[in-house]
Amino acid sequence: MAADTKKDSEFKPYVPHTQNIPEFTLRAVIVGSALALVFGVANAYLGLKVGMTVSASIPAAVMSMAILRGVLKNGTILENNIAQTIGSSGESLAAGVIFTIPAFLIWQATVPGFNFTIANWQVILLSILGGFLGILFMIPLRRGLIVKEHKTLPFPEGTACAEILVAGDEGGSKAKTVFTGIGIGALYKTLMSGFKLWPERFELTPRFFPGSQMGIEATPALMGVGFIIGPKIALLLFSGAIIGYLGIGPLIAFIGNFMTAPLPPATEPISQLSPGDLRTYYVRYVGIGAVAMGGFISLMRFLPTIISSFKQVTAGMGEAATAKIRTDEDLPTKLVWGGAFLIALAIYLMPKTEISLLGALLAVLFGFFFVTVSSRMVGIVGSSSLPISGMTIGTLIVVSVILLSSGVTGTVGMVASMMVGSVVCIAVSMAGDASQDLKTGFLVGATPKRQQLAEFLGVLIPALVMGWVIMFLNKTYGFTGPTALEAPQANAMAAVVQGVMTGVLPWAFIVTGLIIGLSIELLGIHALPVAIGLYLPPELSTPIVAGSLIFWAVNRFSSSEAIPARTEKGILFGSGMVAGDALVGVALSILVGTIASYAAYFTATDRASAWAGAAFGNWFTLSFFTLLGLGYLRYIWKKK
């Protein structure tokens, strides 16, 4: 099918549609499956330990390129793309699983009378159903999000991944720029996080403004993402952080000075809470409400494009095969709707899960809603900043309330709500990854339907081991108690569902977030980026702003002739920094999970704070991050 708009027809992928080179090959599938297992297992442990996962799209691209082109010598760019598509799915599936499934194990250990035991086969089945649902719903959205909005949605990781694949295929100066960025990012991350020479975070909690919180997570990856997305979106994110952590947080702290009793869900008076506690107990719920409102309005705004995308896919099914071009072939729409129906049926018929027909329908409905939202959100802020847990918590709240009002309570209600939430969470996570992968494929000239088939394989392979990983970690460490893995998202979601079923939930803060999101939209500003900044810890917004300021400086002070070349060079270098940071992050997570002595070293205080004091160690963080930014700008500015 020909492109639908003039804007679309102007874009020429790296591999033209008229060229057929090896793409969906056995070696690409094998390499991708191995990477999916590695990234899935590593990120499952890391996410349960610290509440964050490492984006695997770019590391998978780098490693597949090293194997297919470096070791096997003759891998094509499209084979590399298929391998990274499968490989990155392991991390995304791990994120969806670890955010929800441990909640069942937490309830077993903490809730009296909770007699439900989740089995390994149920984890496997939930992983497959949720993963497939996310990929299916992404298929008809591809044209609207990735083709039509190619010039307006940056898809940071997807674009960076394409740059790396093209640079590796072309060689020359582009490859040198990318791999220089990889080396700098990897070295910085190794010194900071591996050897713990200085803290990863610079934190500010001014005493003259109680309840306020600001800081910076000084990682090369977030600086690179900031350059890729640019200052407009980065500043919207930062404005959300300002509202939440320099506005709402201090306001709550001030009011708390006149209260002696705890305000639920906190168990201590507000006057005794730190700024981090204020975020955990209150500001985060405001962010959840704002994200839900921004997501709903985004869906309504995007609804015509969704309908148009479905019509285009349906119309394309009736055309002769000769009328299609390779780079515009999706899997058929019948597969999307038929697959969604079968998944809803499988959820309903799954034994020992307490899910009613209503619960199965809610899983598919919320899956469609949040897949649409997340697929667009990752185009704005990237997968690393996608608030999957916020969207899942929103789903859990609504589903729990619906089930509670229909008479489903107690253990049955808790299990059914979390089962639905698990499917939605995994679907959202996989859809975000699929969106980035399809953007990469669009840029390099991949065949969409082959890449979509690769996404399904990327779910199947790690799903077979994810249940075992969760059960192993629970047996080894547990998810409750002083020495257990933190599992912060799973603990939060378990508390939310239990809170709804017992009537304890901070609705006032959630409704406040809904109103804030609506007010921002009425001002003519897209609420979603602001809401994301309000929900995320402020330390994640500031390094993105730092990277976007480098982009601004390049465009502000360069001559008009130099801007395109310097911008491209900045994107390539930033992409390399993201890759280097992520590769080292994954390597460190493997070391933490396999070597006990290093695990103890990894969790120890950084060296700078140990000998210079915590306050002075923070300034080490800011100093080195500033030097990294100046070096980034200097490298872009060089003529050659």
CB atoms within 10 A of CB 549: 19
Residue 319 pLDDT greater than 50, yes or no: no
Q: Which of 43-52, 59-68, 198-207, 550-559 has the highest mean pLDDT?
A: 550-559
Whether residue 493 contacts residue 393, with contact meaning beta carbons closer than 8 Å, is answered with yes
pLDDT at 497: 86
**pLDDT per residue over 562-601, tens digit each?**
888 898 889 888 878 887 887 787 777 677 767 777 767 7
* Proportion of the chain above pLDDT 70, given as a percent: 87
Element (H, E) at 201: strand 201-204
Residue 315 pLDDT greater than 70, yes or no: no
Whether residue 367 contacts residue 424, with contact meaning beta carbons closer than 8 Å, is answered with yes
Provide the whole-model pTM: 0.72
pLDDT at 131: 94
Residue 217 pLDDT greater than 90, yes or no: no
Whether residue 576 contacts residue 176, with contact meaning beta carbons closer than 8 Å, is answered with no
**pLDDT per residue over 444-503, tens digit each?**
999 999 999 999 999 998 898 888 888 877 877 778 766 677 676 787 778 788 888 877
Closest by CA to 534, choosing from 213, 214, 238, 205, is 238
Mean pLDDT value of segment 97-102: 89
pLDDT at 385: 60
Domain boundaries, the chain: 6-637
Residue 387 pLDDT greater than 70, yes or no: no
Q: How close are the terminal C-alpha atoms of the chain, in Å? A: 41
Element (H, E) at 162: helix 156-170
Six token digits for residue 586 = 């994954």
